[in-house]
């Protein structure tokens, strides 16, 4: 039976709900082995899945755990998910912004795997910050201060957690139906009314083309319809990293600067404005222009940063102890010219090499290391000008560093 199902998908045939349910639950129970699940996932990657199969798989994932009921909040809830990118610290910025205008934020985030970082690792770079809250603690905190960001509780779509870890190490992450069922099962089980998905495209993203991003967008909207969840999507660039910093504590420091209104306009501030205002529109039914004004005002008044401080305090973080590595090295421009590109994927690789990310589930993270860009795309530079500052603990071999910046 196990091999029959793998062969059926290998030949491009459609699997029934029963077959998917049996196979995936068998994996959770240990009857289906890692190598058999990996084989089916690869067949799915190559042959794809019909919409019906994707809907069935999403249901199997949701039914593997509990579904939260957020009706006690007595208001429209909206959650955001990103397909992941380099320097993507948007959650750290938009969650306090949106919560500070009165929209409750209950965010269950993931750790970084591969070259993309994870919100939970970033928050853990704040000494003491707890990311393992129980369901009761989550509910208490969201009701009391209107914001909570924690790791996914064990009871929420546990099958997705197990499958995602296997996908990550078997080259089966970039499958549109697998991404759609993974994201949507978590969001639906999380109980939110509305969902905003930031679909990243580019060399530092799971999806490389706008066409694939559009296919994922269509699919998540269809899944949302089945569960009466309004889903909006934004397709955003991930050829260039977001903002100036890559690395856990560096990214928290950058997020704080933006929340304090101290950062100039850049690709990160623009995306945060777009995402936060969209969430406000979805939750409050106001116009986009109105929502944009609300975002600007809550930053200017200090309310957004205040909400961030409340979040950190509630989850026992100590911002006074947040720090970057003391050892650093400047990367200089090898020539005169204009910065035409800064490769997200190459920076992702460098940050993992420095210890800011993990390549296998067991790797530990060095929170203080990373890269701070000192230029942005479009800047003119002279030979010898500083391009980036590298924070390290163990002196890195900087081979390939020239692939990061395209200067012409």
Q: Which of 79, 88, 121, 160 is catalytic?
A: 160
* Contact between 348 and ligand URA per CB under 6 A: no
Burial 246-284 (b: 16+ CB within 10 A, else e): bbbbbbbbbbbbbbeeebeebbbbebbbbbbbbbbbbbb
- Cα(39)–Cα(37) distance, rounded to whole angstroms? 5
Q: Which of 89, 122, 161, 186 is catalytic?
A: 186
346: number of CA atoms within 13 Å, CB side?
14
Q: H or E stretch including 108?
A: strand 105-109
Tokens 């600007």 belong to: 296
* Contact between 347 and ligand URA per CB under 6 A: no
Q: Which residue is nearest to ligand URA (CB)?
A: 182
Measured from the CB atom, the residue of 114 and 261 that comes closer to ligand URA is 114
* Contact between 156 and ligand URA per CB under 6 A: no
* C-alpha dist (Å) from residue 285 to 77, 93, 282, 289: 12, 21, 6, 12
Is residue 347 within 8 A of residue 250, CB to CB? The reply is no
* Contact between 179 and ligand URA per CB under 6 A: yes
Q: Which of 39, 109, 182, 333 is catalytic?
A: 182
What is the dihedral sign for C-alpha 316, 357, 48, 83? positive
Which region among 71-79, 176-184, 209-217, 246-254 touches ligand URA (by CB under 6 A)?
176-184
Q: Which of 84, 111, 136, 123 is nearest to 308 (CA)?
A: 123
* Contact between 390 and ligand URA per CB under 6 A: no
For residue 10, indicate whether it is catalytic: no
Which region among 128-136, 178-186, 286-294, 326-334 touches ligand URA (by CB under 6 A)?
178-186
* Contact between 163 and ligand URA per CB under 6 A: no
* Contact between 45 and ligand URA per CB under 6 A: no
Instruction: Select the residue interacting with ligand URA from 39, 64, 77, 83 (CB under 6 A).
Output: 83
Burial class of 314 by CB neighbour count within 10 A (0 to 12, 13 to 18, 19+): middle
For residue 232, indicate whether it is catalytic: no
Measured from the CB atom, the residue of 175 and 269 that comes closer to ligand URA is 175
* Contact between 183 and ligand URA per CB under 6 A: yes
* Contact between 84 and ligand URA per CB under 6 A: yes
224: number of CA atoms within 13 Å, CB side?
21
Measured from the CB atom, the residue of 182 and 351 that comes closer to ligand URA is 182
> Which residue ranges make up the site for ligand URA (CB under 6 A)?
83-84, 164, 178-179, 182-183, 206
Catalytic center residues: 81, 160, 167, 182, 186
């Amino acid at each position: 039976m196990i091999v029959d199902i793998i062969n059926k998908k290998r030949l491009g045939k459609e699997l029934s709900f029963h077959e998917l349910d049996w196979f995936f639950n068998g994996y959770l129970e240990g009857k289906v082995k890692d190598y058999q699940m990996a084989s089916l996932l690869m067949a799915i990657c190559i042959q794809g899945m019909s919409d019906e199969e994707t809907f069935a798989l999403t249901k199997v994932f949701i039914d593997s755990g509990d579904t939260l009921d957020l009706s006690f909040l007595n208001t429209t809830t909206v959650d955001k998910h990103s397909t992941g990118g380099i320097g993507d610290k948007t959650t750290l910025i938009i969650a306090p912004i949106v919560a500070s205008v009165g929209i409750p934020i209950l965010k269950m985030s993931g750790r970084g795997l591969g070259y993309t970082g994870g919100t939970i690792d970033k928050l853990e770079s704040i000494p003491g910050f707890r990311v393992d809250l129980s369901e009761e603690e989550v509910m208490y905190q969201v009701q009391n201060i209107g914001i909570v960001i924690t790791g996914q509780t064990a009871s929420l779509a546990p099958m997705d957690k197990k499958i995602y870890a296997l996908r990550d190490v078997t080259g089966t992450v970039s499958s549109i139906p697998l991404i759609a069922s993974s994201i949507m099962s978590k969001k639906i089980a999380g109980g939110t009314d509305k969902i905003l998905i930031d679909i990243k495209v580019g060399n530092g993203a799971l999806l490389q083309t706008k066409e694939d991003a559009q296919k994922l967008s269509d699919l998540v909207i269809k899944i949302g319809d089945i569960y009466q969840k309004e889903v909006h999507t934004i397709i955003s660039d991930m050829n260039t990293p977001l903002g100036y910093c890559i690395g856990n504590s560096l990214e928290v420091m950058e997020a704080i600067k933006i929340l304090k209104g101290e950062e100039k306009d850049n690709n990160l501030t623009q995306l945060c404005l777009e995402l936060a205002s969209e969430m406000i529109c979805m939750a409050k039914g106001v116009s986009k222009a109105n929502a944009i004004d609300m975002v600007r005002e809550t930053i200017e008044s200090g309310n957004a940063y205040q909400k961030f401080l409340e979040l950190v305090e509630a989850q026992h973080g100590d911002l006074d102890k947040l720090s970057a590595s003391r050892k650093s090295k400047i990367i200089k421009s090898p020539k005169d010219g204009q910065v035409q590109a800064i490769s997200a994927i190459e920076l992702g690789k460098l940050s993992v090499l420095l210890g800011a990310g993990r390549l296998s589930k067991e790797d530990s993270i060095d929170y203080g290391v990373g890269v701070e860009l000192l230029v942005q795309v479009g800047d003119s530079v002279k030979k010898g000008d500083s391009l980036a500052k590298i924070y390290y603990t163990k002196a890195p071999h900087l081979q390939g560093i020239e692939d990061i910046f395209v200067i012409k």
